[in-house]
């Protein structure tokens, strides 16, 4: 049973329906809060991770429902899902770090969840590929837990208002540009005053 995809059709059909519903609702929520999410790299990465989790859950669940699907096919798909999930999560953190954004503590607190998911996916994929071991018993609980986890991440992202986002640390390059502009604006009156003093001195010297 652990290596037979057909034995899990009922579970994955339920997971697919839930993932499709949550994915549609989250896309609508993103469009309503698009400006707030687009203003900060951390918010964008969180939205990207939620979309990825729901999308990959839906894809894997629908694949399991294909007639005649083999455990080897599911194993290859699991390994691909693991690679995509890690690439999106780590890539988002690297982009935020390069932009000089301070990564909040709650993001690091979610990292062990990504790590455990990766280990279970890899172990389940290897088990399915070798046709022995626990197989889908390692994978199915992850997709079940992914539903409430995605809902929690989506809720925390959507309920974050504009005032909270405005208090989040901005990229350093933006603040640097702003400082340069302020310095340029403050330097203009000084240079103008010096020019006036020099012209006044030259006039007195002529007189």
CA distances (Å), origin 79, targets 30, 60, 115: 29, 11, 14
What DSSP character marks residue 69? Answer: -
Range of the domain at 186: 171-207
Do 149 and 179 belong together in one domain? no
User: How high is the pLDDT of residue 206?
Assistant: 56
* pTM greater than the 0.85 cutoff: no
Lowest mean pLDDT among 56-60, 79-83, 87-91, 160-164: 160-164
Q: Rounded to the nearest 5°, which phi and psi values hold at 159?
A: -80, -5
Instruction: Check pLDDT > 80 for residue 52.
Output: yes
Residue 34 shares a structural domain with residue 55: yes
Sign of CA dihedral 83, 89, 91, 94: negative
- Please tell me whether residues 106 and 178 are part of one structural domain: no
Q: Single out the residue of 143, 124, 126 nearest to residue 135, CA to CA.
A: 124
Render pLDDT for 145-185 as a digit per residue (tens, 0 to 9).
878 888 887 787 777 644 444 444 444 444 444 544 555 55
Alpha-carbon Rg of the chain, whole angstroms? 27
| Domain count along the chain | 2
């Amino acid at each position: 049973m652990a290596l037979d995809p057909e034995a899990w059709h009922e579970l994955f059909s339920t997971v697919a329906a839930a993932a499709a519903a949550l994915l549609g609702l989250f896309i609508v929520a993103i469009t309503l809060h698009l400006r707030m999410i687009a203003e900060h790299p951390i918010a964008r990465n969180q939205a990207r991770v939620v979309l990825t989790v729901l999308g990959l859950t839906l894809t894997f669940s629908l694949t399991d429902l294909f007639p005649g699907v083999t455990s080897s096919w599911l194993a290859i798909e699991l390994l691909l899902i693991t690679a995509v999930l890690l690439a999106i999560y780590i890539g988002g953190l690297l982009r935020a770090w390069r932009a000089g954004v301070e990564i909040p503590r709650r993001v690091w607190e979610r990292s062990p969840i990504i790590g455990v998911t990766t280990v279970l996916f890899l172990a389940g994929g290897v088990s399915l590929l070798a046709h022995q071991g626990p197989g889908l018993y390692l994978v199915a609980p992850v997709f079940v837990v992914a539903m409430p986890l995605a809902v929690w991440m989506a809720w925390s992202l959507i309920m974050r208002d504009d005032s909270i986002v405005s208090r989040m640390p901005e990229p350093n390059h933006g603040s640097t540009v702003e400082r340069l502009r302020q310095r340029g604006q403050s330097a203009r009156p000084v240079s103008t005053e010096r020019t006036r003093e020099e012209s006044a001195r030259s006039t007195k010297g002529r007189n």
